[in-house]
C-alpha cells in the first residue's frame, strides 16, 4: 500500500470556524502570539495564558470538522495515510482519521509543569490551582515558541517514507514544521492546497490555490482514481 503523508496547518480548520494565526494582521484572536504562546508569557502572565487557551478549548468544543478533514479520511480506503498536523484541535480525529500526529500539542490535553511526560485528557478550563499528582500546576499541552518539538523526529521519519505528500493550509513560516518537506524522497509528488500558497515551485509540486474544503476533496478524488 502506498503511503500518503499530509502536513496540515491552521487553514484546514478555518472553514470550521477556527481562526488562523497569521491571516488577521499577524494577530491571533487579538493577541500577538508571543504574548500568549511562549514560556515567558507563562512565567509573567499565567492568568492571561490560561484564559486564552481556555477560550480556544471552549471554542473548539463548539465547532465541527469540515469537508477537507472528512475527505482525508476517504483516502484510507486505498492508501496508508499519516496526518501530521500543526493544529492543536482534534478535528482530524473527529472526522475519523486513524493516524494523527500533533506536532504542536493538543488543546484537549493538559500536562504537569513538573513532569512533561505526565499528560492527561482535559476538556474543561485549566485554572490556577489545578494540580498534577505531584501537586504542581497543570499547563496547556501546547508546544510554545522556543520550546522543543518532541514529535518532530517521528514526523520526519514518516515524511522520509512518503509516496505522496499533501500540504494544506499552512503559511510554511514556522520551523521546524516547515522543514519537513525536505525529508520527503526526491521526486515525491506533492500537492499544496492553500488560497495563498507560500512554497518554492519545483517539478513534482502541484499547487491548488483554493480553500481547503474545496481543494482537498478534489485532490483526494484524483488520488483515489489513480
Ligand atoms: N483553506 C486553506 N488554507 C487557508 C484557508 C482555507 N480556508 N484560510 C487560510 N488559509 C491559509 C492561509 O493562506 C495561510 O497560508 O492557511 C495558512 C495559515 O497560516 P498560519 O496562520 O501561519 O498557520 P500555520 O501555518 O498552521 O501556523 C504554524 O504557527 O503560531 C504557530 O504553533 C502555531 O501551529 C502554528 C504554527
Tell me: the pLDDT tens digits for 155-184? 999 999 999 999 999 999 999 999 999 999
The pLDDT, as a whole number, for residue 25 is 64
Query: Which bin fits 146, alpha (ψ -120 to 50), beta or left (φ > 0)?
Result: left
The pLDDT, as a whole number, for residue 27 is 65
Ligand 1 centre from 9 Cα, in Å?
Answer: 5
Catalytic residue among 69, 104, 141, 158, which?
Answer: 104
Residue nearest to atom 26 of ligand 1 (CA): 9
The pLDDT, as a whole number, for residue 89 is 98
Q: What is the mean pLDDT of residues 44-62?
A: 96
Integer Cα distance of 199 and 19 in angstroms: 21
- Is 104 one of the catalytic residues? yes
Q: Which residues line ligand 1 at a C-beta cut-off of 6 Å?
A: 9-11, 14-15, 20-23, 33, 86, 104, 169-171, 173-174, 194-196, 198, 211-212
Ligand 1 centre from 180 Cα, in Å?
Answer: 16
pLDDT band at 33 (very low <50, low <70, confident <90, very high): confident
**In CATH, what number does 1-17+65-104+145-226 get?**
3.40.50.1220
pTM metric for this prediction: 0.96
Q: What is the mean pLDDT of residues 95-110?
A: 98
Does 74 have pLDDT greater than 80? yes
Integer Cα distance of 98 and 76 in angstroms: 8
pLDDT band at 29 (very low <50, low <70, confident <90, very high): confident
Query: Which bin fits 154, alpha (ψ -120 to 50), beta or left (φ > 0)?
Result: alpha
Does 23 have pLDDT greater than 80? no
Ligand 1 centre from 131 Cα, in Å?
Answer: 33
Does 71 have pLDDT greater than 90? yes
Average pLDDT, the chain: 95
Does 151 have pLDDT greater than 70? yes
Integer Cα distance of 124 and 91 in angstroms: 17
Between residues 110 and 23, which one has the greater pLDDT? Answer: 110
Closest CA to 176 of 199, 155, 162, 190: 155
Amino acid at each position: 500500500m502506498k503511503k500518503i503523508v499530509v502536513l496540515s496547518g491552521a487553514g484546514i480548520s478555518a472553514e470550521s470556524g477556527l481562526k488562523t494565526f497569521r491571516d488577521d494582521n499577524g494577530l491571533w484572536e487579538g493577541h500577538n502570539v508571543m504574548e500568549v504562546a511562549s514560556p515567558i508569557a507563562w512565567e509573567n502572565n499565567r492568568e492571561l495564558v490560561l484564559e486564552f487557551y481556555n477560550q480556544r478549548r471552549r471554542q473548539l468544543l463548539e465547532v465541527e470538522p469540515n469537508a477537507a478533514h472528512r475527505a482525508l479520511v476517504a483516502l484510507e480506503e486505498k492508501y496508508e495515510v499519516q496526518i501530521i498536523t500543526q493544529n492543536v484541535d482534534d478535528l482530524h480525529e473527529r472526522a475519523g482519521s486513524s493516524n494523527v500526529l500533533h506536532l504542536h500539542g493538543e488543546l484537549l490535553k493538559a500536562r504537569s509543569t513538573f513532569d512533561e511526560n505526565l499528560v492527561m485528557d482535559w476538556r474543561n478550563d485549566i485554572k490556577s490551582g489545578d494540580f498534577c499528582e505531584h501537586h504542581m500546576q497543570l499547563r496547556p499541552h501546547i508546544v510554545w515558541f522556543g520550546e522543543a518539538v518532541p514529535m518532530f523526529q517521528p514526523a520526519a521519519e514518516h515524511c522520509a517514507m512518503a509516496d505522496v505528500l499533501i500540504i494544506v493550509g499552512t503559511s510554511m513560516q514556522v520551523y521546524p514544521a516547515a522543514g519537513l518537506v525536505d525529508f520527503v524522497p526526491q521526486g515525491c509528488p506533492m500537492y499544496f492546497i492553500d488560497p495563498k500558497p507560500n512554497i518554492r515551485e519545483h517539478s513534482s509540486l502541484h499547487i491548488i490555490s483554493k480553500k481547503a474544503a474545496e481543494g482537498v476533496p478534489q485532490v483526494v478524488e484524483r488520488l483515489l482514481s489513480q
